Structure 1
Amino acid sequence: MAPSPTHNQSEPLLPSKLANEQFSSLSTTSTTAIKALSILRIAVGASCIIAPRWSCALFQFPIPAAYSVMPRIFGVRDLILGELLITAENKESPDGGRREIKRALWANIGADVVDVGSVLFGLATGTVGRAPAAIFGGGAAAFVILGVLGLRGL
């Protein structure tokens, strides 16, 4: 059986669309969720890069100066994911950039799911306290929810 022209087997999460298909504008909920996620991610990333010890202290996770490189690494990741998402829309492309927005949202969701798992592992092994785990894990879970809300309107 020949593959359907509207489904690409190599990309199950991102089904292709026909070139002549018209796309409506994104819903207000999706647009707001996408913008909020990208801006929050850029802000968190920039704060971890610029002031890693201060940023971690906000989350009740004090780190010694010698380890300040670690929050910077995660800050760069967040900054890049936020920038990728905020620049994904392309009104010139036939689909309005929806394919790229979906890719960026899935990258964000994937990173946040791994973050939640890492926090839970740290909590279970006693390397992360309850308060930082609740703050980090809750933040990552909120980012997952924003990503899913963004995907719903695509």
Structure 2
Amino acid sequence: MAPSTVPHEQTSPLLLPKPANDQPTTTTQLSHPTTTAIKTLAILRLGIGAASLITPRWACALFQYSLPQGSSIIGRLFGIREVILGELLYTSEDKNAIDGGRREVRRALWCNIAADTVDICSVGFAVATGGMGRVPGALFAGGAVVGVGLGALCLKEV
């Protein structure tokens, strides 16, 4: 079915349905540890993204990956993606929403998990084909695994 023909009332299999207008307007806040974990993940993404955007060669050197001078645009593209994902996650909680913003938090967490999963696969392919060394590959993939794990833990609580 084309996206334009899908009714807005239809729910996604990954997200809970939007609450009906006739449901009570009490909000349920996320627990403090869950909120802290979500904000920490968002801030880590924002920090790594900003560093990659501003100084891509230095940011890649943190992962022991030597980025050639002419390839700085790749680091910047990665950086802006991380900034956008971090900002999406950081601003996803809406304490005034009926569900406490849980639907948007789940959506942002799924976006982060999807991006990290693709990163893990991409790094695995690069290491397997010789396009990246094992140590930088382990550092990049390790960061993505931590992101998937933390995102999954938060998703379980949301």
Instruction: Give the TM-score normalised by structure 2.
Output: 0.87
Specify the SS of the correspondent of 1:83. helix
> Deviation digits for residues 85-121 of structure 1, max 9, x if unmatched?
1011112211111111111000000000000000111
Corresponding residue to 1:79 among 74, 77, 83: 83
Corresponding residue to 1:113 among 110, 114, 117: 117
Instruction: Find the aligned partners of 2:90 and 2:110 in 1 and give their Cα distance.
Output: 14
Specify the SS of the correspondent of 1:90. coil
| Structure 1 residues without counterparts, runs of 5 or longer | 1-7
Instruction: Find the aligned partners of 1:93 and 1:24 in 2 and give their Cα distance.
Output: 9
Instruction: Find the aligned partners of 2:63 and 2:19 in 1 and give their Cα distance.
Output: 46
Counterpart mapping for 1:52-131 below 5 A: 52-131=56-135
Contact kept? 1:109, 1:147, Cα under 8 Å = yes
Aligned length: 147
Partner of 1:147: 151
Instruction: Find the aligned partners of 1:82 and 1:42 in 2 and give their Cα distance.
Output: 5
Is 1:134 paired with 2:138?
yes
List 4+ stretches of structure 1 deviating above 6 A: none
Shift of 1:63: 1.1
Contact kept? 2:28, 2:99, Cα under 8 Å = no
Instruction: Find the aligned partners of 2:48 and 2:131 in 1 and give their Cα distance.
Output: 22
Is 1:30 paired with 2:34?
yes
AA aligned opposite 1:87: T
Partner of 1:3: none
Q: Compare 24-33 and 120-129 and name the one that shifted more.
A: 24-33
Contact kept? 2:93, 2:104, Cα under 8 Å = yes
Instruction: Find the aligned partners of 2:19 and 2:49 in 1 and give their Cα distance.
Output: 37
Superposition RMSD on alpha carbons, in Å?
Answer: 1.4
Instruction: Give the TM-score normalised by structure 1.
Output: 0.89
| Structure 2 residues without counterparts, runs of 5 or longer | 1-8
Partner of 2:17: 16
Instruction: Find the aligned partners of 2:19 and 2:74 in 1 and give their Cα distance.
Output: 44
Instruction: Find the aligned partners of 1:150 and 1:72 in 2 and give their Cα distance.
Output: 28
